[in-house]
Structure formats: structure tokens, C-alpha cells
Amino acid sequence: MKILPKVKTIRRPCYRSPESCTNELPWGLSRDRELSNHTGLQAAMSSHNIWTVEEGGSVDLNCSVSKDSSSHVDIEWYFTNNENNTSLIAMQYKKEQIIKGKKERIRFLGKDFDFVRLQITELQVQDSGKYTAKIKTVVDKEPYFKNCSYNLLVKQSRGDWDFGEPW
């Protein structure tokens, strides 16, 4: 797989109008995790901060989570288009598969989209007992991508992810 050049990531607040917010989100998240109006892929971070990546770029998302007995890491993708139709895609990776850098094709609305790829390149256990996973998302240029907003939420089955400082 060809890795596209990494574009500059920026840190910016997630601004939304009150009219666009709702407490009845289908996946049970609070309104502070809602999507903002931005075309492209977004990684949902703590403290209402969003790191954006332009089409054709990639982002390295560094996360750490407290060690526990769970054998899977849950990765949830939320896709929302301009008509506010939402679909949830959830994938589970065994930790040994993460270490091997397993790649997955993502299914969205019943179709396979090769232009969105998730690659977990490494998983390490630190002395503090936390897992640190390096996740790479590669987005190829595709006409369908232009009118959509994407939000990436990464969480572990037990405990919250600590996103730390921007890289």
C-alpha cells in the first residue's frame, strides 16, 4: 500500500452552533463528541480539541490506555454526511493482531471503501502498565469524500483513552 505524504496537522477548537447539537445521539455519546462542520477526517481528542487532516493525507494518532484483562481493543468509526445520516462501524482487534500491524478494509453502508484505511503499526507496554498504540489512518483522494465529514473515536473496552499532548 502506498503511504501518501503526511500533511501538516493543526489543533483547533470544535465549534458548533446550538441548533446542530442534540442529546439524542444514536450511539449514546454526549454532545461534546458531536461532529463539527468540516470536510475531511477528524480525530476526536480530549478537551474539545480536533486535529484535522486534509484529503490525501495521513495522521498518526498516539494513544495510551491503562492495562487490564481485556483481550480486544475496540475501534469505532462514525460517518456523518451533510444530511445528518449517521452510520456506526465498530471493529475489534486482538492485541496480538495489533502488534503485527494488521490492516483492515472498512465497510460503510454495505460497501467496501478502499480509500479509508486503518493501520495500527505498533503496541507497546510501558513501565507504568499502560498500552501505547500507534494508529495510522490513510485517506486516498476520492470524489465521494468531498461532501462528507468524518469523526474518528478510538476507545478501549475498559477505561478511557488518554490522548496526551498534540504531537
Strand partners, 111: 108
Is residue 4 a part of any domain in this protein?
Answer: no
Is residue 68 a part of any domain in this protein?
Answer: yes
Domain extent at residue 64:
39-47+55-167
Distance, CA of 113 to CA of 107 (rounded, Å): 6
Is residue 104 a part of any domain in this protein?
Answer: yes
Per DSSP bridges, beta strands 111-125 and 130-139 are: antiparallel
Query: What is the structure's pLDDT at 103?
Result: 40
Is residue 12 a part of any domain in this protein?
Answer: no
Is residue 32 a part of any domain in this protein?
Answer: no
**Location of C-alpha cell 477548537:** 13
Is residue 77 a part of any domain in this protein?
Answer: yes
Spell out, as residue ranges, where the chain has pLDDT lower than 70: 1-167
**Location of C-alpha cell 484483562:** 69
Is residue 29 a part of any domain in this protein?
Answer: no
Q: In terms of DSSP H, where are the helices of 71-153?
A: 95-99
Q: How many domains does the chain have?
A: 1
Is residue 15 a part of any domain in this protein?
Answer: no
